[in-house]
Structure formats: structure tokens, C-alpha cells
């Protein structure tokens, strides 16, 4: 499969399968991962950095493409910057129940940034803040009719570019691409949280260890 090395059992080796998956998700590249791994742990780290490299490259190019497509003044309802587009998209789900804080986490921006962004879109008539249908104590953001129209106009501008990109992926991979990246984002958040929790746990001495003061007292 794509020239990947096979394991003795006939399938892809763990490292080859991971590298193939990374390139499948973010596009092919002539850059190859470092081959200095001496253990499974270092192989995992190399896979992670290699994946980050390709994601960074793909993200930069995608953001430039979106900026050129939806920022121009040719949009009848006015240009959209990247975070405005992403926020409108995140709020477009029919049953969206995301709070402002949750949207900030999803977009990777700070609370002051999301506050300014939401206020700008609300003042323009694109967003509204309402009580959650599931929890009346929560405030959630939803699109207005105007916000929906602006999003649809931006998507129409992006459609030719999206069709070109989609042509490079086989249908099964295209269908699972967004889900795979969503899983990656969730796993990264969980991993960071777990690492932070573990590092904050104080390390107690072994149960068999006897305090020096007790030893001294016993000897006396």
C-alpha cells in the first residue's frame, strides 16, 4: 500500500501504517520521517512530530486559500475573516448547543478574542445569544437568518476550491478525513490534560521507607 513496508505478518508495520495515515490525512510529501528511532516510544514521538509538520504545512496553505476566497470585497454581504467564518460554521449545526467558552476552545482562541468576535458578529446581526434548550442556565450562540445567508455565500465562494481539493482524495478517505482530525484534536486535548494531572500529583515515598527521625529515635 503506497510502498509502505510490510510487517512479518503481511500487514503494515506500526510505524509505516502511522506515517501512511499522516500523509493520507494531510497530503503527500517528499519529506520522510527521521529513521533514528531506537524504541517504540521514540517511534511514537517521531510519528507525532512528522504529523505536526504536515498538519502545519497543510493548515497554512488552507488558511491562505480560504482568505483569498472569502475575504475579497466581491462578497455581496461583506468579507469574512477566517475566525468569523469558522465561528459561523460552528454555530450552523441545527442542534448546536455550544457556549462562548466552548467555542473559544474549539477555535483555539482566548476568551477576550472570542468575546470581541462574538460581539462583532452580534452587532452585525449574524449571531444571537439564546437560552439553551437543554439547560436554561446556559447561554448558547446560534445563527440568525442573515448569518446563515453570509455563511452560504462564503461556502459558494469556496466551492470550486473545495471541489479541486476533494478530487485528490478517494471517497472513503474524504468521508473520514474530518472525523479523523476531530479524533486527533480530542485525543490531543485528553493527552495534555492527563499529562498535566499526572505531573501535578506529589510523589510519596515508598510505603516501606522509614522516616530518618524514627530510625534515629529507635536507635536512641
What is the structure's pLDDT at 146?
92
What is the structure's pLDDT at 75?
66
Let me know the angle formed at the C-alpha of 89 by 87 and 94, rounded to the nearest 5 degrees.
Answer: 115
- What the block records as the C-alpha cell of 50 is 512528522
What is the structure's pLDDT at 1?
38
Pairing type for strands 139-143 and 127-131 reads antiparallel
Question: pLDDT per position in the chain (220 positions), as tens?
Answer: 333 444 444 444 444 444 444 445 444 444 544 554 456 668 888 988 999 999 999 999 998 888 888 777 566 777 788 889 999 999 988 777 778 888 898 888 899 999 999 999 999 999 988 887 777 778 888 899 999 999 999 899 889 988 998 899 888 888 788 888 888 888 887 665 555 544 444 444 444 444 444 344 444 4
Secondary structure class of 128 (helix, strand, coil): strand
What pLDDT digit, counting tens, does each position of 167-183 carry?
Answer: 998 888 887 888 888 88
- Pairwise CA distance, residues 55 & 61, whole Å: 10
| 13 alpha carbon, distance to own chain's centre | 26
- Pairwise CA distance, residues 184 & 46, whole Å: 16
CB neighbour list of residue 148: distance below 8 Å, 6 or more residues apart: 92
What is the structure's pLDDT at 20?
46
- Pairwise CA distance, residues 70 & 65, whole Å: 9
| Residue 37 β-bridge partners | none
| 150 alpha carbon, distance to own chain's centre | 24
What pLDDT digit, counting tens, does each position of 70-103 carry?
Answer: 777 566 777 788 889 999 999 988 777 778 888 8
99: nearest Cα among 133, 129, 122: 129
- What the block records as the C-alpha cell of 5 is 513496508
Report phi then psi at 133, rounded to 5.
-70, -25
What is the structure's pLDDT at 74?
61
What is the structure's pLDDT at 125?
93
Alpha helices in the chain (DSSP H): 14-26, 40-70, 82-90, 100-107, 111-123, 145-166, 171-199, 212-219
Amino acid at each position: 500500500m503506497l510502498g509502505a513496508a510490510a510487517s512479518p505478518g503481511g500487514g503494515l508495520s506500526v510505524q509505516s501504517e502511522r506515517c501512511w495515515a499522516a500523509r493520507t490525512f494531510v497530503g503527500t510529501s517528499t519529506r520522510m520521517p527521521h529513521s533514528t528511532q531506537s524504541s517504540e516510544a521514540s517511534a511514537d514521538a517521531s510519528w507525532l512530530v512528522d504529523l505536526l509538520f504536515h498538519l502545519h504545512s497543510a493548515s497554512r496553505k488552507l488558511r491562505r486559500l480560504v482568505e483569498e476566497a472569502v475575504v475579497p470585497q466581491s462578497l455581496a454581504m461583506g468579507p469574512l475573516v477566517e475566525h468569523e467564518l469558522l465561528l459561523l460554521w460552528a454555530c450552523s449545526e441545527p442542534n448546536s448547543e455550544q457556549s462562548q467558552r466552548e467555542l473559544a476552545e474549539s477555535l483555539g482562541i482566548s476568551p477576550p478574542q472570542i468575546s470581541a468576535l462574538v460581539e462583532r458578529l452580534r452587532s452585525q446581526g449574524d449571531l444571537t445569544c439564546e437560552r439553551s434548550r437543554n439547560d436554561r442556565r446556559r447561554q448558547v450562540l446560534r445563527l440568525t437568518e442573515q448569518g446563515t445567508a453570509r455563511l452560504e455565500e462564503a461556502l459558494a465562494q469556496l466551492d470550486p476550491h473545495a471541489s479541486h481539493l476533494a478530487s485528490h482524495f478517494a471517497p472513503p478517505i474524504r468521508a473520514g478525513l474530518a472525523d479523523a482530525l476531530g479524533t486527533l484534536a480530542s485525543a490531543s486535548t485528553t493527552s495534555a490534560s492527563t499529562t498535566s494531572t499526572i505531573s501535578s500529583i506529589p510523589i510519596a515515598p515508598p510505603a516501606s521507607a522509614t522516616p530518618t527521625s524514627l530510625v534515629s529515635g529507635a536507635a536512641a
